[in-house]
Chain A
Amino acid sequence: MKIDSDFLPEKQCIVIDIGTKYTKFGFATEHSPRCIIPTCCEIDGTPISDIYTCKDVQTLTLALTNFIHMLFYKYALVAPKDKKVIIVESLLSPTTFKEILAKVLFITYEVASLCFVPSHCASLFTLGISTGLVLDVGYKEAILIPVCEGVPVLRLWQAMALAGQTVENQIKTRIDIGQLSPDESIDNIAEDIKARTCFVTSLKRSKILATGQNVEPKTSDVEYHINGERSITISGDIRETVHDVLFEENIDEMSITTMILETIINSNVDTRLKLAENIVLIGGTVMAKGFMSRLKEELVEKLKSPKYNNLKITKFKFHIAPAFENYIAWLGGSIFGSTNNLNILSQTRENYINENFVPDWPTTFTRQKIE
């Protein structure tokens, strides 16, 4: 059996990206996550479907302890003791969550070191560029943070609750799923319908459909079977227009499109062009078919409006990473974990126990290097 010389003495490094809906998990230097699993766990037999909504410190601690336990002993099959851990997290994730996660990992599981990597910066590692406008459309919200020369520009952040969940709510209201037996969940069915039958239609078709007219060619209907017993019909119109909610402007004239344009208009004049030509889309929802082309169409269309007319931008360019969009941030964390910088920027357990706090940014300040 051939054993690579470089993986034996080195401490294994584990990369975790805890999303609102799905958690990506794997080892650093590997090219894809080992597993993508739903972020849910059980406390004493009661399922917790969304860890991020646990407000109570006690419940959150228990939920995270159980969840990390499952990750390590069911999927990683390594004891977390004395391992290095990288957490890829959004910059807007709550501080309490971060603190409790650090406490669980350092005290309960005794990991050697921990590093929180901002997901927006890490995503650029997968492209080899240092400036980009990173838009993360996940399950709960769309978060936009531009990154200039490797530094996230927090002043220009934009976030809106327009993501996978909004689309699923559209499906729930527009499709009559009917009565469900207790062991079926409406959330799972809505997600399944979204992932398997829906796509993002073009701007032209969406405009015609919005006026109530028929469009040619008409999208075919789909027979969807629930539990092998009943079947419901999902009409073609619904299939192509459920994602439109992401591009509809709300009362403040904000949508995913205007989020990008607002960021560009507020940014420095010198970086505007560069940002517009380096748009990076990450997160599971952007994997919907036609999302990228629709976004481009919407952006170009919106440029004509008087508000954004004075922007001297004529085209938008998008990056395509060598990975699926739902684990780009994870892959960035994995690439980061393969470099020497991990040892410099991580917080060690000794440091955590002495200082008893988690730094906001990975820095070398007050830290000793881990060997």
Chain B
Amino acid sequence: MASYMFQKTITSICTCGLQKLLPDLFFCRHCLTLRCDFCVSHEIDTTYCPHCFENLSSTEAKHKKNRCASCLECPRCFNTLSTRSYSRTPEPKKPPQKMYYLLCLFCNWRSHEPSIPDQPTSSGNWPVNKNPNDGRILDLINHYKSVSLKEVFDKQKRNTKHYGRNYMHFLEKFGLNAMMARKRAGLPNFHSDGTGFSTSEISPAEAIENVPELPINIFEDIVDLKQVSTLEQRFATPELQAENTDDLFPIRKHLRVKHSLRCRVCEHNVVKPEYNAVKFKIKHLAYYHVPEIKIIKCEPLVAGKWSSLILKLCNPAQISTAVRFEKLDLNTINIIREPRRLEGEDLIATPKQLPEPIPIVLELHGDIMVPEGEIKIAARDDTAEYDDTNEVNTDNDDPKYVYWRKGNKVALKFEVKPSENLKKNENLQLGFVMHFMYMDTMLHVINQKQPQTVLVPINILLNLPNSL
């Protein structure tokens, strides 16, 4: 069922120039144009664990290195580990004690393999493996930090050399008052000019001549590939990269984020999730505003001959809309991109540089005849489906173009003519522009005006399978 959503038979061209399916698109209500996840800016809303669904604040997540504190992953197959318990009696007279260990229900890995001792609590203070080189790296970092600070000191010293004889302004700059205070207190003096600034010394690494040789038994040992970890398993813990599967330690579950999306041009939210719920505060998906197009019937395509194509349009909005069609003009497709602003819409204070739009390169393989005039589509009404007597006024429709009409759906007749040189088994690519009427309610809220309707153009591409 979901696969029909991914069929790229009918795509829309987003404002940025990418071809996207309607369910992948957003509709910015302020710019009145389509946006896709490539041309909106993503922000991080909340961080959560994909297993226990606990929400973490960004500081907490940062502190825990983006890992969940309670959920663990199998180091061998990356599925979630479960905690198992058993009772044991340490001494005959004492009550039995519950002990816990970890088990992967998928590949049967257990925490005994890297010889992690069983824990007496279910949350388990499972040991955190440490990078064995932590000490040395910390020394290096401190050394380079102090070297870089010394550089700054030296530079300051150079810059302050040529001041006049009056040193009074140094009093505060170098904290001379503080120095006096130190002297009075009998503390050793410190040099503020950097001469006494000592960089923490480290011993530079010693190169060795006797490099590690191949182990003598590497040739004859039988290699059991089950015991040798794969690269994926090694890279899951970059600081350990254990080559033996017995040395793999459980991994803490990596957290995930909920995104909130913002239009880059007008900086209004397009999608905003609700905290702690699988719901949205704001969701301006194109799917809720733009009439959806589906192919119902298509006559066999013959090169150079007109054949009819019937498309069904479905209005998802609660207000009735109208559509008008135009042929796609390849010459102007790259010129007008960012749509006009509405009257009274305040401009953004600081215009910033936006990513360049992607040039649209298209090739159309034929001609299309679109219905003329304006075609009205009724609003969506959820109750209409149960109403058999639901009558739709079809008086104004031109039977030449309107095939049938029911509720918020209308089927329209198009004519397509593949070009003469269409190759066999090549998809027939055709395009048209659909203008649809959008009721702009935002302006009404801000400026106390009547809601106005605008025509929003959308470039639609058809990719008809062709089996001539």
Contact = CB atoms under 8 A, between A and B. Distances in A.
B152 interface: yes
B144 A335 contact: yes
A293 B230 CA distance: 24
B214 A318 contact: no
A79 B40 CA distance: 13
B83 interface: no
Interface size bracket, A side: 35 or more
Contacts of A331: 137
A359 interface: no
B337 to A, nearest CB: 16
B213 interface: yes
Contact of B208 (A62, A191, A320): A320
Interface stretch (A27-35, A111-119, A173-181, A256-264): A27-35
B148 A340 contact: yes
A341 B235 contact: no
A33 B238 contact: yes
Contact of B209 (A69, A78, A128, A317): A317
Nearest to B139: A128
B218 interface: yes
B253 to A, nearest CB: 13
A195 B204 contact: no
A312 interface: no
B375 interface: no
Q: Kindly name the residue among B149, B220, B223 whose own CB sees the greatest number of chain A CB atoms within 10 A.
A: B223
B99 interface: no
Contacts of A75: 66, 254
A79 B42 contact: yes
B202 interface: yes
Interface size bracket, B side: 35 or more
Contact of B257 (A12, A77, A219, A225): A77
B86 interface: no
A155 interface: no
Interface stretch (A1-9, A47-55, A88-96): A1-9
Interface string B191-220: 000000000001111011101111100111
Given A128-B143, A289-B214, A335-B144, A319 B205 contact: yes
A192 B209 contact: no
B312 to A, nearest CB: 25
A129 B204 contact: yes
Given A191-B231, A322-B137, A201 B214 contact: yes
Nearest to A352: B353
Nearest to B37: A69
B305 interface: no
B220 A219 contact: yes
Interface in A265-310: 277-279, 289-290, 292-293, 296
A327 B219 contact: no
Given A73-B44, A196-B230, A341-B148, A34 B65 contact: yes
9 contacts: A32-B239, A34-B65, A78-B58, A126-B140, A128-B143, A202-B213, A289-B214, A289-B215, A319-B208
Given A77-B44, A202-B214, 8 more contacts: A36-B238, A58-B359, A195-B230, A196-B225, A293-B213, A316-B209, A323-B133, A341-B151
What are the nearest 8 A-B pairs in CB distance? A317-B207, A322-B133, A32-B239, A127-B205, A339-B148, A36-B235, A290-B214, A322-B136
Interface of B: 18-19, 38, 41-44, 47, 58-63, 65-66, 131, 133-134, 136-138, 140-141, 143-145, 147-149, 151-152, 202-205, 207-209, 211-215, 218-223, 225, 228-231, 235, 238-239, 241, 254-257, 259, 353-356, 358-359
